[in-house]
């Protein structure tokens, strides 16, 4: 009887845990590790390794999907979790890997995928903590306000709801007012329109160091997405003491720089040049330190963007979250690869019913609150509640606002089939990869023991072998064409080894040699990111 009771209790507990995991939607670090290990063990085409551990003790995982000589096939790097508050990016990266193994294994015959699911695990773990707040930084203690003390002004949960939201203080000298379409939403007063502020607006907490600022030096140190070398913002909170200062940044870059076969990078994060491609700017492209996509690469971005919009079908994208030190810009401007970014989802535009005040400035919080109400998401907004605040004696202070994480991370049942659609898009990108071939190979005798060999070096892919930025950076390996001769053969004209800067998609370059000798020679051509081919030619 006791054994039956224990089994019954165990089943109840197991069911309860399962329900919690399902209700939670997103994976914490332990669950993510289990999910990745399960995926890797389910297929011989997948392998998993930890590149490093963060200061918070979390693994930085790399999942390799491929068959055969994976490092000598054209490859795409898929990166999630570049922004710590964006757990959806982690989910989209993992869903892509799961989709490839389950439904698109044929892709792995010609393409390798390196998937880095979460580059900000210290930050994303805050989603699962007892005190939830939007966090971007890792576990490194920092002195963000430069007062000689570390993490001395953290958040405080003043209303005891387990979340950090916002705090508004009624004050006629304030710069903030309520939004015309929804009085729960705070906006800066526009003095050019005659608006007057009636509130001061802060994050929820105390001014612990009495410097007049709130929560400016709390837990959550260096942001992965602020700590890369492109347009790095020195002396900015979250950026670190120097670029690539953190274990996770260094581990990723060290790995990427060993993968010569990567031709493109896809990032799930705030940056978005897929819904709307980057625009070529002549002034920015002419600078010594380039700040614009280069001429030619903009056409590629436009082509890939059109494929993305056709497949994924998302509309009304918000402004891209490009910033100094971010990853997906680094991948193009400093790594020289074709780089594409998307959040994977954003709050759809809601017009509201006839009773709703018009959201004329398309305020994101107003739109989110209306969408959440429409979707039946009850915990999206914490209603403003009056509190007694020791830093504002005798003043009206209220705590409330949009709940942390939800604007970027909806319940996963609200994103529909976007995981599958993004996998389809990345598969389409792989189908466009550069592919070197040797075609129209001919040999003809020209007398006196000499043979003329001609061949067309053809890129059968849609994408060029090298981006314009990649050619300028000189980092990408060029396409190598080499003749393999025996001791009785000699190259009379032409180069035995030559390096080709670029072959555009669906274009060819003709090569010719004059060879003295008998027998056969082998032409080998390609690079890790284009594929390597060879052709044997008989001498006349």
Is the confidence at residue 211, as pLDDT, over 70? no
Average pLDDT over residues 513-525: 96
C-alpha to C-alpha distance for 129 and 133, rounded to whole angstroms: 9
**First vs last Cα of the chain: how many Å apart?**
92
CB atoms within 10 A of CB 166: 16
pLDDT tens digits along 45-56: 999 999 999 999
Average pLDDT over residues 353-377: 91
Is the confidence at residue 333, as pLDDT, over 70? yes
What is the overall mean pLDDT for the chain?
A: 91
pLDDT tens digits along 447-488: 988 999 999 999 999 999 999 999 988 778 999 999 999 888
Average pLDDT over residues 486-500: 94
- Of 200, 236, 238, 256, nearest to 64 by C-alpha is 256
Q: What is the DSSP letter of 316?
A: S
Residue 154 has what pLDDT? 73
Beta strands in 110-196 (DSSP E): 112-116, 166-170, 176-178, 186-188
Average pLDDT over residues 101-130: 97
pTM above 0.95, yes or no: no
Residue 233 has what pLDDT? 93
Is the confidence at residue 275, as pLDDT, over 70? yes
C-alpha to C-alpha distance for 485 and 483, rounded to whole angstroms: 6
Is the confidence at residue 104, as pLDDT, over 60? yes
Is the confidence at residue 342, as pLDDT, over 50? yes
Is the confidence at residue 8, as pLDDT, over 80? no
- Decide which of 20 and 462 is more confident: 462
Residue 206 has what pLDDT? 87
Backbone phi, psi, residue 197, to 5°: -80, 145
Q: CA triplet 221, 223, 228: central angle to 5 degrees?
A: 130
Say which range, 217-226, 268-277, 387-396, 405-414, has the weakest mean pLDDT: 217-226
Q: Given pLDDT bands bounded at 50, 70 and 90, which one contains residue 272?
A: very high
C-alpha to C-alpha distance for 79 and 118, rounded to whole angstroms: 7
Residue 6 has what pLDDT? 35
Is the confidence at residue 7, as pLDDT, over 70? no
Q: Given pLDDT bands bounded at 50, 70 and 90, which one contains residue 356?
A: confident
Residue 2 has what pLDDT? 34
Q: Given pLDDT bands bounded at 50, 70 and 90, which one contains residue 5?
A: very low
Is the confidence at residue 16, as pLDDT, over 60? no
Residue 10 has what pLDDT? 36
Residue 476 has what pLDDT? 85
Tokens matching residue 143? 């002195």
Average pLDDT over residues 320-330: 94
Residue 355 has what pLDDT? 78
* H or E segment to which residue 490 belongs: strand 490-493
Is the confidence at residue 19, as pLDDT, over 80? no
Q: Given pLDDT bands bounded at 50, 70 and 90, which one contains residue 213?
A: low
β-pairing, 75-79 vs 199-203, is unpaired
Q: Given pLDDT bands bounded at 50, 70 and 90, which one contains residue 9?
A: very low
Residue 212 has what pLDDT? 66
Q: What is the 3-state secondary structure (H, E, C) of 339-402?
A: EEEECCCCCCCCCCCCCCCCCCCCCHHHHHHHHHHHHCCCCCEEEEEEECCCCCCCCCEEEEEE
Is the confidence at residue 23, as pLDDT, over 50? no
Beta strands in 72-195 (DSSP E): 75-79, 112-116, 166-170, 176-178, 186-188
Say which range, 139-153, 318-332, 519-533, has the weakest mean pLDDT: 139-153
C-alpha to C-alpha distance for 468 and 241, rounded to whole angstroms: 32
pLDDT tens digits along 178-209: 999 999 999 999 999 999 999 999 989 887 76
Portion of the chain with pLDDT greater than 70, in percent: 91
Q: What is the DSSP letter of 110?
A: T
């Amino acid at each position: 009887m006791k054994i039956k009771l224990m089994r019954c209790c165990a089943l109840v507990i197991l069911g309860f845990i399962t329900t919690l995991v399902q209700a939670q939607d997103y994976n914490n670090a332990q669950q993510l590790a289990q999910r990745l290990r399960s995926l890797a063990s389910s297929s011989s085409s997948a392998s998993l390794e930890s590149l490093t551990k963060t200061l918070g003790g979390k693994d930085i995982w790399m999942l390799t999907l491929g068959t055969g000589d994976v490092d000598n096939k054209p490859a795409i790097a898929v990166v999630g979790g570049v922004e710590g508050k964006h757990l959806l990016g982690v989910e989209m990266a993992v869903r892509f890997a799961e989709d490839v193994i389950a439904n698109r294994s044929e892709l792995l015959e010609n393409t390798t995928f390196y998937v880095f699911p979460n580059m900000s695990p210290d930050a994303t773990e805050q989603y699962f903590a007892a005190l939830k707040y939007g966090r971007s930084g890792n576990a490194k203690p920092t002195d963000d306000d430069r007062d000689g003390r570390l993490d001395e002004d953290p958040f405080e949960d003043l209303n005891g709801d387990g979340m950090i939201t916002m705090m508004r203080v009624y004050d006629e000298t304030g710069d903030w007012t309520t939004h015309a379409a929804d009085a729960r939403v705070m906006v800066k007063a526009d003095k050019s329109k005659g608006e007057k502020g009636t509130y001061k607006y802060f994050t929820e907490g105390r001014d612990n160091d009495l410097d007049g600022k709130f929560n400016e030096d709390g837990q959550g140190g260096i942001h992965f997405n602020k700590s890369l070398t492109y347009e790095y913002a020195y002396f900015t909170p979250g950026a670190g003491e120097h670029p690539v200062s953190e274990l996770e940044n260094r581990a990723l870059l060290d790995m990427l720089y060993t993968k010569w076969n990567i031709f493109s990078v896809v990032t799930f994060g705030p940056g978005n040049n897929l819904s709307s491609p980057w625009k070529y700017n002549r002034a920015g492209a002419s600078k010594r330190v380039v700040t614009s996509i280069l001429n030619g690469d903009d056409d590629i971005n436009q082509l890939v963007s059109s494929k993305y919009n056709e497949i994924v079908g998302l509309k009304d994208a918000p402004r891209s979250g490009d910033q100094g030190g971010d990853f997906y810009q680094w991948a193009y401007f400093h790594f020289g690869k074709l780089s594409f970014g998307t959040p994977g989802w954003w709050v759809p535009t809601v017009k509201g019913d006839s009773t709703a005040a018009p959201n004329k400035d398309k305020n994101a919080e107003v739109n989110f609150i209306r969408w959440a109400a429409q979707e039946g998401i009850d915990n999206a907004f914490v209603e403003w509640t009056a509190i007694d605040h020791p830093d504002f004696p005798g003043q009206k202070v209220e705590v409330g606002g949009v709940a942390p994480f939800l604007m970027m991370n909806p319940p996963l049942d609200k994103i529909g089939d976007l995981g599958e659609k993004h996998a389809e898009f990345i598969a389409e990108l792989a189908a466009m990869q550069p592919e070197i071939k040797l075609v129209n190979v001919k040999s003809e005798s020209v007398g006196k023991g000499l043979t003329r060999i001609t061949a067309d070096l053809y890129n059968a892919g849609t994408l060029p072998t090298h981006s314009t930025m990649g050619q300028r950076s000189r980092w990408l390996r060029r396409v190598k064409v080499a003749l393999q001769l025996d001791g009785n053969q000699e190259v009379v004209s032409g180069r035995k080894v030559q390096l080709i800067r670029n072959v555009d998609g669906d274009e060819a370059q003709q090569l010719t040699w004059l060879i003295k000798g008998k027998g056969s020679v082998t032409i080998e051509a390609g690079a890790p990111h284009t594929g390597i081919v060879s052709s044997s030619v008989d001498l006349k």
